[in-house]
Amino acid sequence: MLPISEIFYSLQGEGKYCGAPSIFVRVGGCNLRCKFNNKRCDSYFAVESYYKNSWKKTSMDKIKKEIRKYKKYHPSLVLTGGEPMLYYKNLYELIKWFDGDITIETNATVDVDFEKYPDFKNVIFAMSVKLSNSKVPYHKRIKKDVIKKYVKYAKKSFFKFVVDKKTDNKEIKKITKNINLPIYCMPLGENEKELKKNAKYVFSFCMKNGYNYSDRIHIRIFDDKRGV
């Protein structure tokens, strides 16, 4: 059983695989409480306990059935949240079962034993490591050992940072030091207006530092609508 916030079919809206047909399985619950610009994160409904009643305890059979509905589109499976790795033991069956690319969108703070759960080696880790603009204390948001483990064992991984005008590149450099992975920076913004406000700055930030720019096309197109 997993606390599921939502399952939906869409196109990946951000990061390395932006635009790819994907089934999103969003779990409820997160070990961090980010506050960007003193506002809750854009997945607040899968984080805050206030919304807990909307997370449906769902059996693996039911999750698989839901995923099967979209088989004809040959989508990737994207496990997101909240923080999906909180439930990595329960998710393992899904990882073994799904026939296609799997991406886990994670804050990269939850340790996994890749020897005991070897199929996680076939997974792509989209590591959205939190910066100081999340207002989460450093010791909670940065687990260098966990990041290194994901990088060592995963099929592929990449970094995805939420950037705003206050972001100092030294932060990103410190986190990514000695880790040779693609870095994607995306503008802070939980709605289209905010995204637009930050996009130009982040575009220049990426050019200046040699990073990849990632837009958030679901926000760009659908504003703050859920399930897209």
Q: Which stretch binds ligand SF4 (CB under 6 A): 28-36, 88-96, 200-208, 220-228?
A: 28-36
| Of 28, 75, 82, 84, the one binding ligand SF4 by CB under 6 A | 82
| Of 32, 127, 142, 183, the one binding ligand SF4 by CB under 6 A | 32
Q: Which stretch binds ligand SF4 (CB under 6 A): 29-37, 54-62, 190-198, 214-222?
A: 29-37
Q: DSSP H helical segments within the chain, as ranges?
A: 60-68, 88-97, 138-141, 144-153, 169-176, 192-209, 217-222
Residue with structure tokens 């969003």?
Answer: 26
Quote the CA–CA distance of 157 and 145 in Å, as a whole number.
15
Cβ partners under 8 Å of residue 207, min gap 6: none
Q: CB of 78: closest distance to ligand SF4 in angstroms? A: 14
Tell me whether residue 75 or residue 82 sits nearer to ligand SF4 (CB atom). Answer: 82
What DSSP string describes 43-100?
TGGGT-GGGGGGSEEE-HHHHHHHHHTTGGG-PEEEEESS-GGGGHHHHHHHHHH--S
Q: Is position 129 an interface residue for ligand SF4 (rule: CB under 6 A)?
A: no
Quote the CA–CA distance of 159 and 212 in Å, as a whole number.
10
The 131-160 contact track toward ligand SF4, x by CB under 6 A, reads: ---x--------------------------
CB 92 within 8 A of CB 117: yes
Q: Which of residues 155-214 bind ligand SF4 (CB under 6 A)?
A: none
DSSP assignment letter at 210:
T
Q: CB of 126: closest distance to ligand SF4 in angstroms? A: 11
Tell me the β-bridge partners of 22.
10, 76
Tell me whether residue 29 or residue 75 sits nearer to ligand SF4 (CB atom). Answer: 29
| Of 30, 63, 86, 163, the one binding ligand SF4 by CB under 6 A | 30
Q: CB of 47: closest distance to ligand SF4 in angstroms? A: 5
Cβ partners under 8 Å of residue 76, min gap 6: 12, 17, 20, 21, 22, 23, 100, 101, 102, 103
Size of the site for ligand SF4 (CB under 6 A): 13
Q: Which stretch binds ligand SF4 (CB under 6 A): 8-16, 81-89, 175-183, 192-200?
A: 81-89
Tell me whether residue 33 or residue 62 sits nearer to ligand SF4 (CB atom). Answer: 33
CB 138 within 8 A of CB 175: no
| Of 2, 7, 27, 47, the one binding ligand SF4 by CB under 6 A | 47
Please report, as ranges, the residues that interact with ligand SF4 according to CB under 6 A: 30, 32-34, 41, 43, 47, 81-83, 107, 130, 134
